[in-house]
């Protein structure tokens, strides 16, 4: 039987990755508060990031609502609770589903693109070129991308909310003959403002960590395509864990703190 325990070298590598990431976080904070914020680059990144993932977010929202509506509609009928179907669907979308979905798509599409872009800049000497021009790569490349993510991910979560709820309303009418006015009457029974606030807060935090991790991994020393592939995979896996953990911690924290 194969021994699948992690070897010392795997642990060593994980440790050195962790140390590198912490150093990168420190550099980020150091350059964040230095003089001359790159506003123009932040604006450019905002549009680039938004444009690069909006289609995937819309498609993902529709697919998600298809699955959710089918499951909730089917079991609602099966269990004799058809009147709660719309409430359950909307609650799942607003309280957990949208943030998880948009964040996962964001990590996979935008986070990976950030890692690969900065990594390939590093491989082709563009980061060295920046340093030689007296431009700190963290300031010019990382900070604008993180700032853009802080804005874009909450917008994506908002779009996911809207599209998933609308799709569910139409699908429930089409598949389970639940009229849209009745859907709307029941959908928002348990909803209050804190649900939306909480989802936006989670989106901001996840956007921050996902983009910062992705950019920091991009600045890892890579001298081959294989290295870069490995680094990109590392960044993606870490970011998926970050999405799950941040979502959990913030939800539990808000609930325990009496905000939800």
Partner 1 sequence: MIRCANVHMRFREKRVLNGLEINIEDNKATVIMGRSGIGKSVLLKCICGLLAPQQGVIEIDGQNIAAARPRQAKMIRSAIGMLLQEGALFDGLTVYENIAFPLTYHRNHTHAEIDREVRRYADIVEMTPFLDLVPRELSGGMKRKAALARCMITQPRYLFYDEPTTGLDPISAGTVDAIIKKLSDTVNITSLIVTHDVELALFVGDTVALIEDGRIRALEARAEFRRSESELRTRFIDQRRILHEEYHANRTVCHCYEFCI
For binding to partner 1 (CB under 8 A), which residues are involved? 36, 121, 124-126, 128-129, 131-135, 140
> How far is Cα 171 from Cα 192, in angstroms, rounded to an integer?
24
Nearer Cβ to partner 1, position 134 or 192? 134
- DSSP 8-state secondary structure symbol assigned to residue 138: I
How do the residues of the chain divide into helix, strand and coil, expressed in percent and rounded to 5?
85, 0, 15
State the minimum distance, in angstroms, from the CB of residue 34 to partner 1: 11
Nearer Cβ to partner 1, position 127 or 153? 127
Nearer Cβ to partner 1, position 133 or 193? 133
Nearer Cβ to partner 1, position 12 or 128? 128
State the minimum distance, in angstroms, from the CB of residue 128 to partner 1: 5
Nearer Cβ to partner 1, position 31 or 188? 31
State the minimum distance, in angstroms, from the CB of residue 129 to partner 1: 4
State the minimum distance, in angstroms, from the CB of residue 184 to partner 1: 45
Using alpha carbons, list the distances in angstroms from residue 204 to 4, 35, 60, 128: 37, 24, 20, 31
Which is nearest to 52 in space by CA: 153, 143, 122? 153
Using alpha carbons, list the distances in angstroms from residue 160 to 91, 107, 172, 200: 13, 15, 18, 12
> How far is Cα 126 from Cα 144, in angstroms, rounded to an integer?
17
- 209 and 249 Cβ atoms separated by less than 8 Å: no
Cα maximum dimension of the chain: 69
Q: Write out the two tokens for 112.
A: 């990976």
State the minimum distance, in angstroms, from the CB of residue 53 to partner 1: 18
């Amino acid at each position: 039987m194969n021994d699948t325990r992690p070897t010392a070298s795997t642990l060593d590598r994980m440790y050195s990755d962790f140390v590198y990431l912490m150093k990168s976080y420190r550099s980020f904070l150091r350059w964040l508060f230095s003089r001359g914020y790159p506003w123009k680059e932040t604006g450019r990144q905002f549009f680039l990031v938004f444009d690069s993932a909006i289609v995937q977010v819309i498609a993902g929202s529709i697919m998600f609502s298809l699955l959710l509506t089918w499951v909730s509609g089917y079991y609602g009928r099966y269990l004799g609770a058809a009147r709660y179907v719309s409430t359950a669907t909307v609650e799942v979308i607003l309280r957990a589903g949208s943030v998880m979905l948009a964040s996962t798509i964001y990590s996979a599409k935008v986070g990976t693109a950030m890692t690969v872009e900065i990594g390939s800049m590093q491989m082709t000497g563009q980061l060295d070129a920046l340093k030689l021009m007296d431009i700190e790569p963290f300031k010019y490349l990382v900070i604008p991308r993180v700032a853009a993510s802080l804005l874009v991910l909450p917008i994506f979560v908002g779009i996911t909310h809207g599209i998933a709820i609308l799709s569910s309303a139409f699908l429930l009418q089409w598949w389970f003959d639940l009229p849209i006015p009745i859907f709307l009457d029941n959908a928002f029974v348990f909803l209050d403002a804190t649900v939306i606030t909480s989802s936006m807060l989670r989106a901001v935090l996840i956007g921050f960590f996902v983009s910062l991790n992705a950019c920091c991994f991009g600045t890892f020393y890579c001298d081959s395509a294989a290295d870069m592939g490995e680094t990109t995979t590392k960044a993606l896996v870490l970011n998926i864990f970050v999405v799950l953990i941040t979502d959990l911690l913030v939800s539990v924290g808000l609930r325990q703190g009496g905000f939800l």
